[in-house]
Amino acid sequence: MGKLRTSILNLQKLLVENPATLAKAEQALEKEIHNINHIGTTADEGWDLLFMQLSSKFKGEGTTLDANKDKTLKDVFDPSMASTIKGIETFRQDLYKACEKFSAIYDVSIGKIKTDLATAEQEAKNLRAIALKKKSKWLASKKYKDKIKGYLDVIDSVDKIIASQKSGAASIMVQDRAWVDKNFPKIQLSMKVSAVKDRASMSTTGKVKTYLADLGKVTTRVRTFRDEYKSMDGQMAIIKKWADEADELEEVEGEEAPPPKQVDSSKAAKLLGIKDVAKLKKALQAKVDGDEKTALKLLTELAKEEQLKDKADAMIKTLAKAGLL
């Protein structure tokens, strides 16, 4: 199997497999988001319960929570609070684990995508190098000259997707443990009663929603990655066709190119009434070579320098009509 076919098939494999990899990652990440939401809500309920237990204790003692706000949990501890305090810490540790699991799934999934993108980028470079090396021969082939532009356009499309996804993958950051430490601090017996009240009244529902929204951006980015491949259907068909023809393309030497057209600048100068034959020759050669800009520039200069009636476009039409172009 030739280098061209190998690069095409490798690229094709990556473009086919990446959407499936991304879909799998999206499902796994969404599952962990729901888990984090559940644990965070339950941990919040633990602080609420501790607040109610303290309020009930002080009421039974004929006092209020505010009257005891400067006391520590150790000072007012009651055995009935032990399971609540233990539960709060257990859920905090569960949050750590859930967030770390999310990060692990993300790192593995996005890590694989980054690796695949780097490989796809290299395969696209290999394809482009082969295509550019063979381009002149393919263009000289009646069978392939109309196809080569489509093949090169496919490489351009793939390059754009790869660049977009590399940029997106590099920009996503997931901070988890710090978020848990900030919003679910470790409960300690040295905490004041007022801190328990503040924590219970500071519902983290909004912060959980904000955090979940941040995690949602990760899955949205993953979904965007996957959706970018939907536009590849047409390109994939061309890549498949290219793979089918790869070995034959590598063997193309091209039909013998026709000899370059010779321009009789002396006849052209006589027909147009131009004295500067050398400059006219340069202009006409540029026209034959497909350099329209240079040809028009030189002819315009000649028309001005020799005060000719005809403009550049008119001169070209006159020469073409006479069979000199």
Q: Please, which pLDDT band fits residue 212 given cuts at 50, 70 and 90?
A: low
Q: Please, which pLDDT band fits residue 185 given cuts at 50, 70 and 90?
A: confident
Instruction: Determine the average pLDDT of the residues in 307-316.
Output: 88
- pLDDT above 70 covers what percent of the chain? 66
pLDDT by residue (tens digit) across 217-243? 656 655 665 565 555 555 555 555 655
pLDDT number for residue 121:
78
pLDDT number for residue 54:
93
- CA atoms of 115 and 110, how far apart (whole Å): 9
* 18, 103, 124, 228, 276 from 225: Cα distances, Å: 9, 18, 18, 5, 61
Q: List, in sequence order, every residue forming a beta bridge with 192; answer none if it has no partner.
A: 72
Residue 4 or residue 19, greater confidence:
19
Dig out the tokens for 72 from the structure: 């520590």
Residue 300 or residue 219, greater confidence:
300
Per-residue DSSP letter, 71 = S
Per-residue DSSP letter, 66 = G
pLDDT number for residue 255:
42
pLDDT number for residue 215:
56
In 3D space, the residue among 110, 80, 122, 124 whose CA is nearest the CA of residue 235 turns out to be: 124
Q: Is the predicted pLDDT of residue 316 greater than 70, yes or no?
A: yes
pLDDT number for residue 190:
94
In 3D space, the residue among 54, 65, 19 whose CA is nearest the CA of residue 228 turns out to be: 19
When the pLDDT of each residue in the chain is averaged and rounded to a whole number, the result is 76
pLDDT by residue (tens digit) across 39-87? 878 887 888 899 999 999 999 999 999 999 999 999 999 998 999 999 9
pLDDT number for residue 1:
45
In 3D space, the residue among 104, 85, 92, 120 whose CA is nearest the CA of residue 15 turns out to be: 120
Q: Cα angle at 128 between 122 and 134, to 5 degrees? A: 140
- pLDDT above 90 covers what percent of the chain? 16
Residue 167 or residue 103, greater confidence:
103
Q: Is the predicted pLDDT of residue 178 greater than 90, yes or no?
A: no
pLDDT number for residue 214:
58
* 139, 193, 225, 229, 235 from 15: Cα distances, Å: 27, 59, 11, 7, 10
- Rounding to the nearest 10 degrees, give the CA dihedral for residues 226, 227, 232, 234: 140
Dig out the tokens for 184 from the structure: 């679910």
pLDDT by residue (tens digit) across 249-280? 555 544 444 455 667 888 888 888 999 999 98
Instruction: Determine the average pLDDT of the residues in 304-325.
Output: 87
Residue 147 or residue 195, greater confidence:
195
pLDDT number for residue 113:
75
In 3D space, the residue among 109, 118, 119, 101 whose CA is nearest the CA of residue 172 turns out to be: 109
Instruction: Determine the average pLDDT of the residues in 30-44.
Output: 80
